[in-house]
């Protein structure tokens, strides 16, 4: 099969690889669509996670069950499925505590297990779901980003009628903003830099700057009260401090992005406003909810996949995902 293989930093190539075999409890999937994630781009550029190369990349994918491994029930060859790349071990301390998504020994497509930028990939059957009818494979590839964005919203204590500030207009900022429609939130404000992407958020209110300008604007928009929740969807220290400045007393910051270098934050404000700062990473069993969302608001996710290119044009696809911030949001590779 043809696959995109990371051979080392900034060295991604398309080459022939053997088709993987499904083990017990696993499915072999014929890939139909795989979307490029910001983390793929970072893995290729920096390899923060220390991926052992060579590794087939790609973790957001949907396709058709080609072969069912031993001890699998509920799936048959020909089923159209969407998949979640995180496969918890079920044995470590975090797993035993019920925090499977924070497993210290997880397997993850494209990180420590062959990924989905390939004509075929293997996934554990418990991490696959039937694709809702009427949703394209490209949009169905978004179930994992949708799951993790739902987690960021839950961790942010988002409440009916409350106000939410999303910091950042990348794919996660846009997905969070669209998901919030289903939470009955009173006010969604998105702060970002890219007019095209801000438009894509569909939020009623957008802020085009950073720092003090955003602070003043948010206090104006909330009649001086500040926001109930801020979701950090950008790796910027300035954004962290803006969020801390504009949260109302007892407000919550959901830290949904790596921030490097580590920012100096104003803990005095955290202290006097009794703020909650919490992390958000992966998702606590939100795959089924993500599939439901995809089924109930498919239009929101179809048009988020702004570009669908044949697998053979993978270089162009990555170029769009890296450099196309004024025209591209999620870029999908399509397979025959």
Q: Among residues 29, 36, 55, 95, which is the contact residue for Zn ion, using CB under 5 A?
A: 95
The whole-angstrom separation of Cα 325 and Cα 183 is 28
Contact assessment for residue 111 and residue 47, using Cβ atoms and an 8 Å cutoff: no
Distances from the Cα of 262 to the Cα of 39, 42, 72, 241, 265, angstroms? 19, 17, 44, 12, 9
Closer CB to Zn ion, residue 57 or residue 214?
57
Using the CB atoms, write b or e for 42-78: b if 16+ within 10 Å. Answer: ebbeebeeebeeebbbbbbbbbbbbbbbeebeebeee
**Site stretch for Zn ion (CB under 5 A), options 21-29, 87-95, 179-187, 270-278:** 87-95
In the bound complex, what is the minimum distance in angstroms from residue 35's beta carbon to Zn ion? 8
258 binds Zn ion (CB under 5 A): no
- Nearest distance in Å: CB 257, Zn ion: 13
Asked whether the bond before 261 is cis by omega within 30 degrees of 0, the reply is yes
Give the range of 50-58, 86-94, 191-199, 290-298 binding Zn ion by CB under 5 A: 86-94
Q: Interface with Zn ion includes 233 (CB under 5 A)? A: no
How distant, in Å, are the alpha carbons of 81, 93, 189 from that of 248? 42, 35, 14
Q: Which CB, 108 or 273, lies closer to Zn ion?
A: 108
Give the E-state strand segments of the chain in sequence order.
2-8, 11-16, 26-35, 55-56, 60-68, 80-83, 86-87, 107-108, 120-124, 128-130, 163-167, 187-191, 205-207, 227-232, 247-255, 276-279, 305-310, 330-334
Contact between 87 and 125 (Cβ < 8 Å): no
- If the CB atoms of residues 105 and 260 are measured against Zn ion, the closer one turns out to be 105
Residue 241 C-beta: closest distance to Zn ion, Å: 27
As measured in angstroms, the least distance from the Cβ of 40 to Zn ion is 7
What helix, strand, coil percent values describe the chain, rounded to 5? 35, 30, 40
Stretch that binds Zn ion, among 33-41, 151-159, 166-174, 228-236 (CB under 5 A): 33-41
Is 44 an interacting residue with respect to Zn ion (CB under 5 A)?
Answer: no
- Determine, following the binding rule CB under 5 A, whether residue 103 of this chain makes contact with Zn ion: yes
Interface size with Zn ion, residues (CB under 5 A) = 7
> Closest distance between Zn ion and the C-beta of residue 103, in Å?
3
As measured in angstroms, the least distance from the Cβ of 104 to Zn ion is 6
Distance CA 164, CA 25 (A): 40
Is 37 a binding residue for Zn ion by CB under 5 A? The answer is yes
Choose between 144 and 217: whose C-beta lies nearer to Zn ion. Answer: 144
Identify which range of 10-18, 88-96, 203-211, 310-318 contacts Zn ion by CB under 5 A. 88-96
Instruction: Please say whether the beta carbons of 140 and 107 come within 8 A.
Output: no
Instruction: Check residue 156 and report its DSSP letter.
Output: T
Q: Which is nearer to Zn ion, 149 or 190 (CB)?
A: 149
Contacts to Zn ion from residues 181-220, by CB under 5 A: none
Residue corresponding to tokens 């020909």: 78
Query: Looking at 36-44, 211-219, 278-286, 305-313, which segment touches Zn ion (CB under 5 A)?
Result: 36-44
Nearest approach in angstroms of CB 305 to Zn ion is 13
Minimum separation from the CB atom of position 101 to Zn ion (A): 10
List interacting residues with Zn ion (CB under 5 A).
Answer: 37, 88-89, 92, 95, 103, 105
């Amino acid at each position: 099969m043809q696959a995109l293989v990371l051979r080392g930093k900034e060295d991604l190539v398309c080459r022939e690889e053997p088709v993987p075999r499904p083990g017990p409890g696993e499915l072999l999937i014929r890939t139909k669509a795989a979307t490029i994630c910001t983390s793929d781009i970072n893995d290729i550029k920096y390899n923060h996670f220390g991926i052992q190369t060579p590794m087939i990349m790609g973790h957001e994918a949907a396709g058709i069950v080609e072969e069912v491994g031993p001890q699998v029930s509920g799936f048959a060859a020909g089923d159209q499925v969407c998949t979640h790349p995180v496969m918890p071990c079920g044995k470590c301390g975090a797993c035993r505590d019920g925090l499977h998504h924070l497993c210290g020994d997880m397997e993850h497509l494209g990180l420590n297990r062959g990924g989905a930028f390939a004509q075929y990939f293997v996934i554990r059957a418990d991490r696959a779901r039937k694709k809702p009818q009427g949703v394209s494979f490209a949009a169905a590839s978004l179930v994992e980003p949708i799951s993790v964005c739902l987690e960021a919203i839950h961790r942010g204590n988002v409440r009916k009628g409350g106000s939410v500030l999303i910091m950042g207009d990348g794919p996660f900022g846009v997905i969070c903003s669209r998901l919030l429609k289903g939470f009955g939130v009173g006010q969604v404000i998105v702060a970002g830099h890219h007019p095209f992407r801000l438009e894509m958020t569909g939020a009623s209110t957008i802020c085009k700057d950073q720092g003090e300008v955003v602070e003043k604007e948010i206090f104006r928009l909330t009649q001086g009260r500040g926001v109930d929740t801020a979701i950090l969807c950008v790796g910027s220290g300035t954004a962290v401090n803006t969020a801390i400045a504009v949260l109302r007393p007892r407000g919550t910051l959901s830290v949904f992005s790596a921030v490097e270098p580590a920012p100096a934050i104003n803990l005095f404000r955290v202290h006097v406003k009794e703020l909650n700062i919490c992390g958000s990473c992966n998702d606590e069993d939100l795959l089924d909810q993500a599939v439901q969302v995809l089924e109930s608001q498919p239009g929101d996710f179809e048009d988020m996949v702004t570009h669908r290119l044949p697998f053979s044009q993978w270089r162009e696809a990555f170029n769009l995902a890296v450099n196309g911030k004024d025209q591209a949001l999620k870029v999908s590779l399509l397979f025959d």
